[in-house]
Amino acid sequence: MAYKISEDCVACGTCINECPAGAISEGDIYKIDPNVCVDCGTCADACPMGAISPAE
């Protein structure tokens, strides 16, 4: 299961630097490519806003 980024994202860039798979792309709200995400949860642990959670 991939992770997703909610609208609480402030585009700080912390998650991009932590993602070992390179699954996160920049934007007003960052996005995680579910086809690249390896479901490690590193991005969720690193997000200071708590904006990343497992996709349902």
- Give the CB-side neighbour count of residue 10, counting CA atoms within 13 A: 6
* pLDDT surpassing 90 at residue 50: yes
pLDDT > 90 fraction of the chain, expressed in percent and rounded: 96
CA separation for the pair 46, 56 (Å, rounded) = 20
Identify the CATH number of the domain defined by range 3-54.
3.30.70.20
* pLDDT surpassing 90 at residue 20: yes
CA separation for the pair 56, 49 (Å, rounded) = 20
Q: Where are the domains of the chain?
A: 3-54
Q: How confident is the model at residue 4 (pLDDT cuts 50, 70, 90)?
A: very high
Its pTM stands at 0.90
